[in-house]
Amino acid sequence: MIPPARARLLLLDDDLAMLESIACTLRAEHDVEAYPSAAEALVALEALVPDVIVSDVVMPGLGGFEFRRRYVAAHPERRTPFLFLSSLGDPETVTAALEAGADDYVVKPVAPALLAARVRALLRRSGAPTQATFRGDLARLSFAALLELCEAKRFSGELLLRSPELEHELTIPVHGGTLDEGVIAPQLDRLCALQSGSFVLRASTFGLERLDAQEREREAPTGRLSSLQVNGRTLEVQTELVSDDVPMVVSLVLVGGEPVAKIRRRAPLELDGAALQALIDAQHAESEATMQDRISAMRHRLQHGPATSTEAEPSRRDAPEPEPPSADEIAARVSQFLDEGLDRSRVGDWDGALDCWERAMLLDPENRTLAANVHVAQRKLRAREAERS
């Protein structure tokens, strides 16, 4: 992707003369925000999403390495290139900078043309497709559930954990669904017992279509992951911004890695990164609430039968709750939904068929016949959408 004509740069240097000199050099091509302290820069970065950060290494208070660490911790969804600019040119410092995550290191004094070329090179490299990023709460999706999720999807990338129950942020490499044993083995019991905190998953792909970076020259918002429990089984709820021809916010509900429900809505092109993130978060919450309502309604019908006008009478409200449906009753209802779906599919009502089979999947998540029928119905609906477009 060709970098935008006016990329956004953030400069950080406690030497005001040097800061102004660098800013003047780079403002010829880019929009530049300059700050003399890391604390001020971190505050500005709550709202500013730069394309490149150029930072000094040795500064009063927070140094460059600690500044980068705090920035990444605060904004894990961002993949901002870092260029360290320092008068320290010894191999140990340069090595430490690269190991701290620097994308480039330039020793002062530097020729203006060389610095400008280094920034352009970082912008070109950062134009590669962004990695898919998902975040969630450990209170709602446990570490054990994350292990199963990574294995089921043969996920490769990294898992970041933050929790008040951990002394520091933990980054765990993941390859083909397997978490790095060297990192998790010494503290596996502790990780499985985590009750609070957050996680971030970063990957090249994660089961949904990739966000094409060439379609958007702005920061990609993070997806959301959570889980719901139904009849002892876990339903995963996943929401992400994806792009084919038109950017869409897509929410999937999956059982055993197979989608059983899907919501797709257009993402207005004029929205900025913060507004897109709010849209994703809102649709994810709506998807969770919708599934909870459907589950509650289905359980109510199984336990009480169809609603009647007498249900509101005090005598009905005070009556003891009936016993939960038996396995035979659930199986009968699953069979009923399956047959209704087949009847609808025979007359071409694939929306109705999919709705019936998704309801059945909520009652019997491991039913492979239902999973196959859901897959067929989804393919039919996608083909119909393609013909209409």
- Position 217 pLDDT exceeds 70: no
Q: What is the per-residue pLDDT across 319-374, written as a single tens digit (0 to 9) for each?
A: 455 555 666 777 778 888 888 888 888 788 888 888 888 888 888 777 777 777 78
Q: What is the per-residue pLDDT across 255-273, written as a single tens digit (0 to 9) for each?
A: 766 666 778 788 877 777 7
- Position 298 pLDDT exceeds 90: no
Q: What is the per-residue pLDDT across 192-211, written as a single tens digit (0 to 9) for each?
A: 888 888 888 876 543 333 33
pTM: 0.40
What pLDDT shows up at residue 323? Answer: 57
Q: What is the per-residue pLDDT across 4-55, written as a single tens digit (0 to 9) for each?
A: 447 899 999 999 999 999 999 899 889 999 999 999 999 999 888 899 999 9
Burial class (CB in 10 A: 0-12, 13-18, 19+), 107: middle
What pLDDT shows up at residue 354? Answer: 87
